[in-house]
Amino acid sequence: MPFRDTIGHRQLVRLLSRSIAAGSLPPSLIFSGPEGVGKKRTALALAQALNCSRSVVSGQWPVASGWGSVVRGQGPGETGDELPIDACGECPACRRIARNAYPDVFLVQPEDSASIKIEQIRDVIAQTAYRPFEGRRRVVIIDEADAMGADAQDALLKSLEEPPPHSVFVLVSAHADVLAPTVRSRCPRLRFGRLNPAEIARALARDHGYTEEESRLAAALAGGSLGRALEAAAGGLDDVRAAACRALRQVAEAADSRGRLEGARGLTGARGAGSTTAADREQLAARVTALLALVRDLAILSSRAHGGAVANLDLTSELEGLSRLYDRDRIVRAFTAADRALRALGRNASPKIVADWLALQL
Ligand SMILES: [Zn+2]
C-alpha cells in the first residue's frame, strides 16, 4: 500500500517521502507508537517507495542531515498532501513487497518463542553485505523490535553504526523505550500517534468491509488503534464494554468512596492492585475508552437531538438505565475525567492510581 493510501500520520509520511526525494533518509530509523496504528504498514510503504519501478528516486545515499533524534507525528486535522515520491502500488515490485515476497525487503518478526533471536538478526545482516538483487534499496524491517534480546540488539548495533550501502533499517516498536540506549541513539525516531475515530472508521469501511454503523461503533471504542478495532471485532469488545458499563453503574450507585473504589476494581480487572505492566495499562485504557464512548452516548441521549449518532446502539437499554444515574453535570464531569485518565495512561501512570482517581471523579 503506497504512502497515499496509508491511514493518518500525514506529516510523518510526507517527511519520509521528502527525505527519499532529497536523498536524506537516515539509514536506520525507529517507528514507535501504539499498537495497531500503521507503523509496519508505513515501513512497507517506505520499502515500496524506495523500490517501485515507476517511482524515481534522486539524490545520493545517505546523508542524514536535517533529522533530529525524534520526530513527532502531528495530530488529526492537518492538511496538505504533497508527496514528492510515492510508489505506484501496481508494479511487480510493489505487489511483491506487499506480499512479503520481494528479495530485497526483509521482514523480521518474533518467532514462536515470541522473541527475535540473534540468528535471525545475523541472517539478515549477512544478506545486507551484498548489493540488492533487484531493487534499488534493501529494506530491513524489524517488527516488534523490542522482542530482540540484548544479544540480538548487540548483533544489530554494528549495522546501525556503519550501515551497509544501499540498505535501510526500520525498527518498528510499540515499546521503543525498552530498546538498548545504544540502539536508540543510532536511530532517529518517528513517533506515530493514535489515529482519530474518523480515520479508523474510514479504514474499516474501505479495507475491511464494515458498514457505516459498524465502523462508527468500532472506531469509537478503538482508542486510536485500528489494530484494536479489528481485534475487538474478532471478540473481546463486548467484554470491554460490559466492564465499562458495570463500572459506570457501580460508581454511580455507590453510597460512599469505598463503594466507588470497588467500582474501580472492575476497570483494572482481577489482577488489580499494584499491577503496572504495559498489558494492564492497555487493558485499562481499552475499558476507559469504552467508558468514554458510553458517556458520549449518554450525552447524546440526554440532548435527545441526535439519537442516530449513538455509537453503542445495541446497548440502548443499558444506556437508558445509566442515563437515570448520570445527569448533564455528571456526564460532563465523567467525560473530562475519562479523557484525563486516558492521557495519564499514555504517560505511563499507574493503572491502579488512575482507576481509583477516575472512580472518585465520576
Ligand atoms: Zn510500483
Question: Which pLDDT tens digit goes with each residue over 206-244?
Answer: 888 888 877 887 787 788 889 878 776 665 677 888 899
How many angstroms does the Cα of residue 27 sit away from the middle of ligand 1?
A: 21
Question: Between these two residues, 148 and 211, which has the higher pLDDT value?
Answer: 148
3 CA distance to ligand 1 middle (Å): 11
308, pLDDT greater than 60: no
Residue 4 C-alpha to ligand 1 middle, in angstroms? 13
Residue 334 is predicted with a pLDDT of 92
Which residues surround the ion ligand 1 when the cut-off is CB under 5 Å?
52, 54, 87-88, 91, 94
358 three-class SS: helix
pLDDT at 76 over 70: no
Buried b (16+ CB within 10 A) or exposed e, 74-102: eeeeeeeeebebbbebebebbebbbeeeb
Higher pLDDT, 193 or 315: 193
**In angstroms, what is the span from residue 229 Cα to ligand 1's centroid?**
29
Res. 65: pLDDT tops 70: no
Classify the phi-psi angles of 121: left when phi > 0, otherwise alpha if psi is within -120 to 50, otherwise beta. Answer: alpha
Distance CA 252, CA 259 (A): 9
pLDDT band at 81 (very low <50, low <70, confident <90, very high): low
CA of 314 to the centre of ligand 1 (A): 43
For residue 38, give the 3-state DSSP assignment.
coil
Q: What pLDDT does 64 receive? A: 40
Report, as an integer, the average pLDDT of 260-271: 80
- 96 pLDDT tier (thresholds 50, 70, 90): very high
Is pLDDT at 272 greater than 90 in this prediction?
Answer: no
- 39 in Cβ contact with 168 (< 8 Å): no
Apex 156 CA angle, 155 and 159, nearest 5: 120
Say which residue the cell 500517534 belongs to: 193
* Contact in structure between 39 and 33 (CB atoms under 8 Å): yes
Residue 157 pLDDT level (bands cut at 50, 70, 90): very high
- Residue 177 DSSP one-character state: G
Average pLDDT, the chain: 84
For the residues 59-82, what does the mean pLDDT come to?
46
Distance 49 CA to ligand 1 centre (A): 7
Distance CA(320)–CA(326), nearest Å, equals: 10
- Output the pLDDT for position 250: 92
> How many CB atoms are located within 10 Å of the residue 266 CB?
22
Residue 50 CA to ligand 1 center (angstroms) comes to 9
Angle between helices 197-208 and 226-233 (to 10 degrees): 60
**46 Cα–ligand 1 center, Å:** 11
Q: Is the pLDDT of residue 130 over 80?
A: yes
Length of the chain: 362
Say whether 215 sits in a helix, a strand or coil: helix
| C-alpha count within 13 angstroms, C-beta hemisphere, residue 350 | 8
- 351 C-alpha vs ligand 1 centroid, how far in Å? 45
CA of 86 to the centre of ligand 1 (A): 8
Return the pLDDT at 77: 37
E runs forming strands in the chain: 28-32, 70-72, 105-108, 138-142, 167-173, 189-191
CA dist 207 and 98 (Å) reads 15
CA of 98 to the centre of ligand 1 (A): 10
Task: Say whether pLDDT at 111 is over 90.
Answer: no
Query: How far, in Å, from the CA of 2 to the mean position of ligand 1?
Result: 8
Per-residue pLDDT tens digits for 320-343: 999 999 998 999 899 899 989 988
* Ligand 1 centroid, distance to 54 Cα (angstroms): 5
Question: What pLDDT sits at residue 343?
Answer: 84
Q: Please tell me the predicted confidence (pLDDT) of residue 173.
A: 96
Range name among 104-113, 173-182, 278-287, 340-349 with the lowest pLDDT average: 278-287
Q: Using DSSP, state whether 129 is helix, strand or coil.
A: coil
Residue whose grid cell is 455528571: 330
Q: Are 50 and 139 in contact (CB under 8 A)?
A: yes
**Cβ pair 98, 139 in contact under 8 A:** no
pLDDT band at 161 (very low <50, low <70, confident <90, very high): confident
Question: 81 CA to middle of ligand 1, Å?
Answer: 19
3-state secondary structure 285-309: HHHHHHHHHHHHHHHHHHHCCCHHH
Query: Ligand 1 centre and the CA of 107: distance in Å?
Result: 19
Cell 532529497 -> residue: 22
Q: Which residue has the higher pLDDT, 103 or 55?
A: 103
Q: Per-residue confidence at 40, pLDDT binned at 50, 70, 90?
A: very high
Q: How far is the CA of 92 from the centre of ligand 1 (A)?
A: 7
Q: Check residue 160 and give its pLDDT.
A: 92
Q: Over 60: is that where the pLDDT of 66 sits? A: no
Q: In what order do the strands lie in the sheet with 167-173?
A: 70-72, 189-191, 28-32, 167-173, 138-142, 105-108
| Residue 266: closest CA among 297, 235, 295, 245 | 245
